[in-house]
Structure 1
């Protein structure tokens, strides 16, 4: 009781201080307050986290201090708005945020957020004022562009100096890109105005989620609170499907714009919606009035458009080709189940020359370990599953007689643990895949119990720093079994298991929604007893490291669980790669030493790492122009090489998919008798685009989509080298019967 009285007294004092500091204009801004149900949700979340989390941690004064620091960091990660004086103002509640949660009084975290919003408005207003005067670019100044690890600035005067340099850098980037002073002022003023517009759209649910995440992530990095809408989006991401019309939307200048139309969806089949169309209004059914959505948050528009399967939604559309004052059209669409195929597993075949022979390498790209849990529970035989999709693709690759298979898990952040186990089962006969240790030290072994393999030929797995969790379970198991060659860079290092815990079970009625916890409940271990925690999976053949372990990966978290080990599970390796790996690595090193593209990539990585380490950019125009000229010269040199007609004699060749060969032939036919631009040319020019000083939504939608398309089509140097490595493996296995019997002892025709 005494703590609660103190908390109320502290809040009253802070309100007086904050109120005294609020300018007249800022005082008129909307002040967000906690909503009914949020305090109860916080209490129930704390009870679950303190009792059921793998790293059970009491909610006490020590935890309050961690929440305090993480909450301020979550609001202002780059330290561009709060000063140290602002933090000092709230120091009195540093050990009282635990009482705010247990006492069901969230006024303090909301007061902190409202102070943040005030500071945000003040800083942006100052930035817009700076645009009235032209910066002096002859001075020898520099700007620290990454401030995540910087100290909080001590005063408003220092903050103004920081923003002066930030605005100066924004101006200089546009100036170097060729914009005149008026164009620069207009662009930046609109940019800063949009910052404020977006910040004003934050709601009570957003603030509550930020605060509760500060608590959850103070326990351990991969524990999160998901508000009702975030929980729904997480579920959609896992099952790769939703019920809607099949449009990808984007906010541009307060308008909701169609960014993509999903083929085969209601929107796609109707032929009435095009990329670039503006959605001005939505009626959720036939009877509801049209609701104007100009200026709405994109997730609010999406929520209005989504609805039950076979129901109708009406849209007020301004066609992209109608112009600003063009005629609106109203269209009706019947919602259907939409599969997010872009995130599904996909295959391709790359052919590599090996002397006089040609090696066909099947590549399966898997962006995430997805599964439609609800459809599976209902017994739907066609439920969406990563393993089911990969098994189907493997069957197709076998029919197309590939020599080796590469599973591309780059930037696959994980997903379903059961999918990781089942996917491993496609490449081993039977046996343990991963071990789990719960908070009470009980160890369970997850095993593949299905006899046989979907693919018994040679195998490779491509990983990078973005390969995490389920990706690491799969890669580690393949490595421990000696089943395939792991290629790439050390993975993320996330060795923990999460589950979703719905808080609505504690709600007193169906109208109250408390959200969900994504909570760590176990740590997983390799079948050899080690863990991927912190260290990740170390590849057998290493490619250049793109990421920075200080800023990305498990080791970058200050409260990550430590590396440890347990007893290995009983398993029998299916292959022995110790003799072939040195041979593959030797050929790899010899090849990349002569590969100009690979050397360019290594140079780029070294340059990025140096820039990241320096963390400073000059604000002197002469120096920046010199740097820009150097970069453009390098880009032109590479463009000349990449577009050379003699390039690519040894490059893997992408073979056409028999299923859509006809469509590709039709789309490749030149229009009006003129040769279509080479995809290779478009890819190179897109990949080598120089800095235009603009942000994504400041470019035209067409330009942005073209750039993304070009980037996807650009040469993938690391994938090409991984394919070469697997082609080398095929060559060794076909010429050395004894080695083939060790690498693939179960494949009787491995040497044929």
Structure 2
């Protein structure tokens, strides 16, 4: 109710300030949009930015970077000309003045059209792949070209790299064909160079054709997002087409690969894999992978390096049942082609599931919760809280002696269910604190004194456990109810967004889209925020992300960590060896050769991630790839690891599996992965050691 009240108040105030013509021109519509956003952001955002000279400079830099992140369109003279507006954009926004936008936009279109000549002329001539030269794809400190000769040189290196990667792929294909058929006549390097250069030209023609379809309104949306994202990375303007995609994805009907993507320098980066989606089921695509090429089935791949994120997504998404092949640069520097069959997200794979595991003649339960799900529109629709309670009751029937809840890669979801699930493990009490702008934090509590499980409990997390996952894990940690085990910290998203349909507040016929805006912040019951710092594990286990900046703290303009007063709550305090178990686990991890290898691998991965140099001579390029591949092979035993644990479905599910081949296959795949899971193995070691004080009465079955 309070969220709605804030939104209505903001937009009612806005309606008193401005009125608009029904049939607005494109420029008038943009001014209307700017007025609405300016008011809503300053009046409704959780932590509004002062629209001053510093804000103006941020928007200036962000907009130019979004248009030309690889610095291959604008000249330094263009930047010098734009710079007179560096501290004036805030004033222009307040006055509905679009001078800066149109100056930069028009110049970009001019430079963009000029570049068509560059790439066509460059690709008409054979490349010299014996020449020793490099391309640095970290463009942050790169200077703009001072003249067109330098600009053409930048283009030459970019196109040479695109062609070089194709040649390498084709040489590999030729070698494979020769192995299959000894009579096959392998094409020469010169022939493959021509074919690859022609493919690069075709790719560029397609790219420019798509870019030519973009309107001034599309580019204005980019400018607007430079304004909104200066408030925080989760406050985003959704133009009409993007809003439509957002609505479809929220309904779970978007067909594609099931991955969230973001822009990083010139690359399209995988930020999250959606549980139950095609990429999740296929298993090879991972967060931090950089997608460099996209192919539709067996068609020639399209190079998406340097492409706008929206355009890259258009190539990646597609109809259910179609194949997309992604060429990705892994975090270890190796290049891999991943084939994914597009599909819709399987909702049942986002639901709670459990497994029984035997360890030293004792029985333990494992519950996997991929998402805190709920459907507010359907009263009888299953939700994660009721499903979790039912699953625990079923596990108790099998006399489990401890429980591990797996929240790895759980990106969050419903706050309501996070509070209710917390209540399954504690007597009634505070779970989380929620704060609106300029108000004191309000405590959200579990009001039900019923405790469904009061035995040993471990919560397993990783760097991708976010939002509602962090609320639950933090509550379990603050109460001392569970041991949290995983990476150094969870994702660190402690903010809440609400989507405002901007069309409700104007009389324009044109669609204005929507604004996704941060309006709240979460705090633990101990007073600390989960923002940026996430939940720090009681037991830290090395992972491939150990030394990487990953999560909320890696996002520009993320809101800061802060504290509110601690809520009143009582520690659970029924473990008799809590600290000893933690220390035992730390000792095991520090002496475990597999964990040592994982830690060494993580250090090497960080080093590889920081390497932005690409070699443009064929021999150096090939040797660099082979070097990365050879280095990565040192760590292959990480993936060959297997435990001596055996996992099985609980009794109630055994009967269902006999008649449901699809479910049987899914559970078999899950149990196979669990058996190879060293993190789950250590979580079970921990839960098996936890002892409850004799004075504590256990919940009866």
What TM-score, normalized to structure 1?
Answer: 0.67
CA contact (8 A) 1:410 1:463 kept: yes
Q: Which residue of 2 aligns with 1:531?
A: 529
CA contact (8 A) 1:433 1:526 kept: yes
How far residue 393 of structure 1 moved from its aligned partner, in angstroms, is: 4.3
Q: Which residue of 1 aligns with 2:542?
A: 544
Q: Distance in 1 between matches of 2:604 and 2:486?
A: 20
How far residue 528 of structure 1 moved from its aligned partner, in angstroms, is: 0.6
How far residue 49 of structure 1 moved from its aligned partner, in angstroms, is: 1.3
1:65-123 per-position Cα deviation (integer Å, ceiling 9, x unaligned): 22222222233344444343332222233333334434444464244234334444544
Change (3 A) 1:387 1:299: farther
Q: Distance in 2 between matches of 1:411 and 1:157?
A: 48
| Counterpart check, 1:650 vs 2:644 | yes
Q: Distance in 2 between matches of 1:165 and 1:650?
A: 52
Deviation larger for 479-488 or 70-79: 70-79
Deviation larger for 652-661 or 416-425: 652-661
Deviation larger for 723-732 or 191-200: 191-200
How far residue 740 of structure 1 moved from its aligned partner, in angstroms, is: 1.7
Q: Which residue of 2 aligns with 1:292?
A: none
How far residue 568 of structure 1 moved from its aligned partner, in angstroms, is: 0.6
| Counterpart check, 1:63 vs 2:63 | no
Change (3 A) 1:300 1:166: closer
Written as runs of structure 1 = structure 2, the 5 A alignment for 1:738-749 is: 739-741=691-693, 745=696, 747=698
Q: Distance in 2 between matches of 1:154 and 1:523?
A: 45
Written as runs of structure 1 = structure 2, the 5 A alignment for 1:24-103 is: 34=26, 37-103=29-95
Deviation larger for 433-442 or 475-484: 433-442
Q: Which residue of 1 aligns with 2:686?
A: 729
Q: Distance in 2 between matches of 1:514 and 1:412?
A: 33
Residue aligned with 1:191, SS: helix
CA contact (8 A) 2:544 2:601 kept: no
Q: Distance in 1 between matches of 2:117 and 2:367?
A: 51
Change (3 A) 1:466 1:106: farther
Q: Which residue of 1 aligns with 2:496?
A: 497
CA contact (8 A) 1:35 1:204 kept: no
| Counterpart check, 1:615 vs 2:619 | no
Name which of 342, 363, 366 aligns with 2:367.
363
Change (3 A) 1:153 1:640: same
Q: Which residue of 2 aligns with 1:425?
A: 423
Written as runs of structure 1 = structure 2, the 5 A alignment for 1:20-419 is: 34=26, 37-106=29-98, 108-123=100-115, 126-148=118-140, 150-177=142-169, 178=171, 180-238=192-250, 240-242=251-253, 341=347, 344-349=350-355, 351=357, 353-354=359-360, 357=361, 359-366=363-370, 368-373=371-376, 375=377, 380-383=378-381, 385-399=383-397, 402-419=400-417
Change (3 A) 1:369 1:348: closer
Q: Distance in 2 between matches of 1:601 and 1:53?
A: 41
CA contact (8 A) 2:430 2:569 kept: yes
Q: Distance in 2 between matches of 1:79 and 1:548?
A: 32
How far residue 229 of structure 1 moved from its aligned partner, in angstroms, is: 3.9
Change (3 A) 1:713 1:599: farther
1:605-659 per-position Cα deviation (integer Å, ceiling 9, x unaligned): 222211223432333444443443444446667668967xxx6352654659533
CA contact (8 A) 2:240 2:513 kept: yes
CA contact (8 A) 1:64 1:97 kept: yes
Q: Distance in 2 between matches of 1:343 and 1:71?
A: 39
Q: Distance in 1 between matches of 2:194 and 2:649?
A: 50
1:361-404 per-position Cα deviation (integer Å, ceiling 9, x unaligned): 423131x444434x1xxxx3124644344445445544565554
Q: Distance in 2 between matches of 1:228 and 1:586?
A: 55
Change (3 A) 1:564 1:358: same
Q: Distance in 1 between matches of 2:322 and 2:458?
A: 49
Give the number of aligned pairs.
589
1:524-580 per-position Cα deviation (integer Å, ceiling 9, x unaligned): 221011122222211111122544887533333453333322221001122466943
Q: Which residue of 1 aligns with 2:333?
A: none
Q: Distance in 1 between matches of 2:138 and 2:671?
A: 30
1:482-521 per-position Cα deviation (integer Å, ceiling 9, x unaligned): 2222222212223233333332332126x44333322222
Residue aligned with 1:90, SS: helix
Name which of 508, 514, 517 aligns with 1:516.
514
How far residue 406 of structure 1 moved from its aligned partner, in angstroms, is: 3.6
Q: Distance in 1 between matches of 2:388 and 2:679?
A: 19
Q: Which residue of 2 aligns with 1:13?
A: none
Q: Distance in 1 between matches of 2:560 and 2:494?
A: 10
Q: Distance in 2 between matches of 1:277 and 1:633?
A: 28
Q: Which residue of 1 aligns with 2:552?
A: 554
CA contact (8 A) 1:652 1:720 kept: no
CA contact (8 A) 1:361 1:726 kept: no
How far residue 582 of structure 1 moved from its aligned partner, in angstroms, is: 4.6
Residue aligned with 1:447, SS: strand
CA contact (8 A) 1:352 1:650 kept: no
Q: Distance in 2 between matches of 1:129 and 1:348?
A: 61
CA contact (8 A) 1:350 1:723 kept: no
How far residue 186 of structure 1 moved from its aligned partner, in angstroms, is: 3.8
| Counterpart check, 1:474 vs 2:486 | no
Q: Distance in 2 between matches of 1:152 and 1:120?
A: 15
Q: Can you give the 5+ residue segments of structure 1 that lack an aligned partner in the other structure?
A: 1-32, 251-258, 264-274, 279-295, 306-314, 321-337, 669-678, 681-711, 734-738
Q: Distance in 1 between matches of 2:559 and 2:323?
A: 52
How far residue 728 of structure 1 moved from its aligned partner, in angstroms, is: 1.4
Change (3 A) 1:413 1:138: same
What TM-score, normalized to structure 2?
Answer: 0.71
How far residue 341 of structure 1 moved from its aligned partner, in angstroms, is: 0.9
Q: Distance in 2 between matches of 1:153 and 1:714?
A: 54
Q: Distance in 2 between matches of 1:492 and 1:249?
A: 19
Q: Distance in 1 between matches of 2:256 and 2:610?
A: 41
Deviation larger for 647-656 or 515-524: 647-656
CA contact (8 A) 1:469 1:495 kept: yes
Deviation larger for 121-130 or 535-544: 121-130
Q: Which residue of 1 aligns with 2:444?
A: 446
Q: Can you give the 5+ residue segments of structure 2 that lack an aligned partner in the other structure?
A: 1-24, 173-191, 260-276, 282-295, 300-310, 325-343
Q: Distance in 1 between matches of 2:628 and 2:315?
A: 42
